[in-house]
Amino acid sequence: MQIEDLLKKYDGFVFDLDGTLVDSMPLHLAGWEYAANIFGFRYDATWFYNLGGVPSRKIANLLSEQQNLNLDLDAVTKKKTDYYHQVISKATVFPAMKELVIHLFHHRPLAIGTGSVRANVNTVLSNNGLHSYFQAITAADDVVHHKPNPDTFLLSAAKINVQPSRCLVFEDTAIGLQAARSAQMDCVLIIDGKPDWNTFTRFNADKLC
């Protein structure tokens, strides 16, 4: 199946932000490493990356539980967040993803579904000239149950008036994939800033018939 034929099957598209649309994950990871040096918890880049899409305070809570620490969750979250705010201007859109967004914008409504807070989402989208391409944004502020729960993507679909089964999600983590599948949405993983269409074949083979 050609990619264009595949995309025509959907009435809307939902994009994760960090690591999917923009190259911001290294900045988030640097923020966690900075906080680790202050609070003395163990920093594992892979572990933190795999939690992409989970709000920072929830990550801090998981961190405290898994490492058997008594961390001040608000203090850890603030240090990590303060660092990210200092470097947020370095969060740049992946060229291949901007090209995809521009292409899809002319055919179907687009939404952002992210674990980042709305203020950061607005800053990153504005800095990269992307705000006008998205009809709706669902941020961490908008839901109680974050990824891997489906709420972020379900609300995104509702905001663009598209049935979940008629949405295609673009994500970069297993947690994001799990959230999409829980929402009964198809998903393509983004690897190194580009859609890996082979992941659609693996995760949504029934859609190819």
Q: Which residues are catalytic?
A: 16
Residue keyed to tokens 């990210």: 84
**Distance in Å from the first CA to the final CA of the chain:** 9
CA angle 194, 125, 34 (to 5 degrees): 80
Q: What is the dihedral of CA 71, 73, 78, 81, to 10 degrees?
A: 100
Rounded Cα–Cα distance for residues 135 and 39 (Å): 40
With residue 35 as reference, give the H or E element that holds it.
helix 25-39
Determine the distance from the C-alpha atom of residue 97 to the mean position of all C-alpha atoms in its chain, rounded to a whole number. 13
